[in-house]
């Protein structure tokens, strides 16, 4: 519950119940177009199969804290410049108040640019590395999720770009998926896997994205990768935010389901698809 106890003679105070849960939802039609005219009454939220009362409903272009997690292994070199340009285009299509950091990964993972709203600073960081070595995807993702603790915005997302399978991380895929589930960060993966990686690489990127409420994309070339990145940018700016105070008080895993009720006036057989995080750990869950 939020209380605003103030008067002319008293200082302003804001009390916020930390149990408030927010679910960010993208809704698209059968042609993958965003549906932007929905109201609060078009949504139902269930936690552990119990319907929750939606107390906050927003559909606005809120600023976001973003992490670019980018493959810098040797195999990426022929496409590096064009992928860097696509990543910068993705950032430019965001909210002007967004903040972005960059993690590069090859044999190891490192933060090459801290949070900034400067496109030139991001451009310099991308241009300042030369591809080499192998592919530490899981280490890079966990590093980025940890760095998100320094984010200033409530909405958080990671765009992970790679062209292969992890072959250098100290962490495992299960550890990366678990870290993703424990975060409140949506992870979108773009895997250019036509030349390397195969089914194992594809499966790992799908598991990571699905654990976070994001999405995995598998373009055949850089042009398609650019297109998918633009779709992610669009989705992040078109999200609905549903907030509720959970009836569940346990600290374990809480499953979440969102039903979308089509508004009146839609053509017959219209199908709306919702994409969102399907669960989270309660605030008292042990690490």
Do 44 and 168 lie in one domain? The reply is no
Do 256 and 137 lie in one domain? The reply is no
Do 129 and 114 lie in one domain? The reply is yes
Distance CA 274, CA 41 (A): 15
Buried b (16+ CB within 10 A) or exposed e, 213-240: bbbbbbbeebeebbebbebbbebbbbbb
What confidence tens digit (pLDDT) does each residue in 132-190 have?
A: 999 999 999 999 999 999 999 999 999 999 998 999 999 999 999 999 999 999 999 99
Question: Token digits for 58?
Answer: 């927003």
Do 45 and 139 lie in one domain? The reply is no
Question: Token digits for 23?
Answer: 């679910």
Number of domains in the chain: 2
DSSP label of 77: G
Is the alpha carbon torsion for 262, 242, 69, 96 positive or negative?
A: positive
Closest to 236 in 3D by CA, of 61, 75, 87, 85: 61
pLDDT surpasses 80 at 15: no
**Residue 149 resides in a domain:** yes
What confidence tens digit (pLDDT) does each residue in 193-214 have?
A: 865 567 888 999 999 999 999 9
Q: In what order do the strands lie in the sheet with 216-217?
A: 109-116, 99-105, 64-71, 155-162, 186-191, 216-217
Q: What is the CATH number of the domain that holds 139?
A: 3.40.50.410
**Residue 2 resides in a domain:** no
Q: Cα 140 vs. chain centroid, distance in angstroms? A: 15
By mean pLDDT, which of 159-173, 229-243, 260-274 is the weakest? 260-274
**Residue 10 resides in a domain:** no
Q: Is the distance from CB of 264 to CB of 16 less than 8 angstroms?
A: no
Do 130 and 252 lie in one domain? The reply is no
**Residue 187 resides in a domain:** yes
pLDDT surpasses 60 at 275: yes
Phi-psi region of 173 (alpha: psi -120 to 50; beta: other; left: phi over 0): alpha
Q: Is the distance from CB of 235 to CB of 34 less than 8 angstroms?
A: yes
pLDDT averaged over every residue in the chain: 90
Do 106 and 199 lie in one domain? The reply is yes
| pTM score, whole prediction | 0.90
**Residue 266 resides in a domain:** yes
pLDDT surpasses 50 at 14: no
pLDDT of residue 10: 39
Q: Is the distance from CB of 227 to CB of 44 less than 8 angstroms?
A: no
**Residue 71 resides in a domain:** yes
**Residue 15 resides in a domain:** no
Tell me how far CA of residue 108 lies from CA of 45, 71, 136, 141, 164, in angstroms: 40, 10, 6, 11, 15
Do 32 and 162 lie in one domain? The reply is no
Q: What is the mean pLDDT of residues 239-260?
A: 93
Do 245 and 222 lie in one domain? The reply is no
Q: What is the mean pLDDT of residues 99-108?
A: 98
What confidence tens digit (pLDDT) does each residue in 27-82 have?
A: 999 888 899 889 999 999 999 999 999 999 999 999 999 999 999 999 999 999 99
Do 82 and 35 lie in one domain? The reply is no
Kind of pairing between the strands at 216-217 and 186-191: parallel
Do 115 and 194 lie in one domain? The reply is yes
Task: Quickly state the pLDDT bin for 131 (edges 50, 70, 90).
Answer: very high
Do 118 and 171 lie in one domain? The reply is yes
pLDDT surpasses 70 at 112: yes
**Residue 146 resides in a domain:** yes
Do 175 and 70 lie in one domain? The reply is yes
Domain residue limits at 102: 64-237
């Amino acid at each position: 519950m939020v209380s605003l106890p103030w008067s002319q003679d008293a200082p302003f105070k804001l009390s916020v119940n930390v149990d408030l849960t927010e679910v960010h939802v993208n809704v698209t039609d059968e042609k993958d177009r965003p549906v932007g005219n929905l109201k609060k009454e078009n949504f139902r939220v269930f936690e552990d199969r119990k319907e929750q009362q939606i107390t906050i409903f927003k559909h606005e272009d809120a600023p976001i804290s973003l992490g670019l997690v980018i493959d810098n292994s040797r195999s990426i070199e022929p496409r590096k410049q064009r992928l860097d340009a696509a990543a910068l285009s993705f950032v430019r299509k965001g909210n002007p108040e967004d903040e972005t950091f960059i993690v590069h990964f090859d044999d190891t993972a490192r933060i090459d640019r801290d949070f900034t709203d400067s496109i030139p600073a991001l451009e310099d960081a991308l241009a300042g590395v030369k591809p080499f070595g192998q592919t530490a995807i899981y280490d890079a993702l966990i590093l980025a999720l940890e760095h998100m603790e320094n984010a200033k915005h409530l909405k958080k997302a990671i765009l992970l770009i790679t062209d292969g399978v992890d072959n250098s991380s100290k962490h495992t895929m299960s550890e990366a998926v678990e870290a993703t589930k424990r975060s409140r960060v949506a992870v979108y993966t773009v895997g250019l896997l036509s030349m390397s990686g195969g089914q194992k690489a594809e499966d790992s990127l799908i598991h990571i994205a699905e654990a976070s409420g994001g999405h995995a994309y598998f373009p055949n070339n850089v042009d398609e990768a650019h297109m998918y990145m633009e779709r992610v940018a669009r989705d992040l700016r078109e999200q609905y935010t549903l907030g509720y105070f959970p009836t569940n008080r346990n600290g374990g895993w809480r499953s979440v389901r969102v039903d979308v009720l089509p508004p009146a006036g839609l053509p017959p057989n219209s199908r709306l698809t919702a994409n969102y995080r399907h669960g989270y750990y309660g605030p008292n869950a042990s690490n």
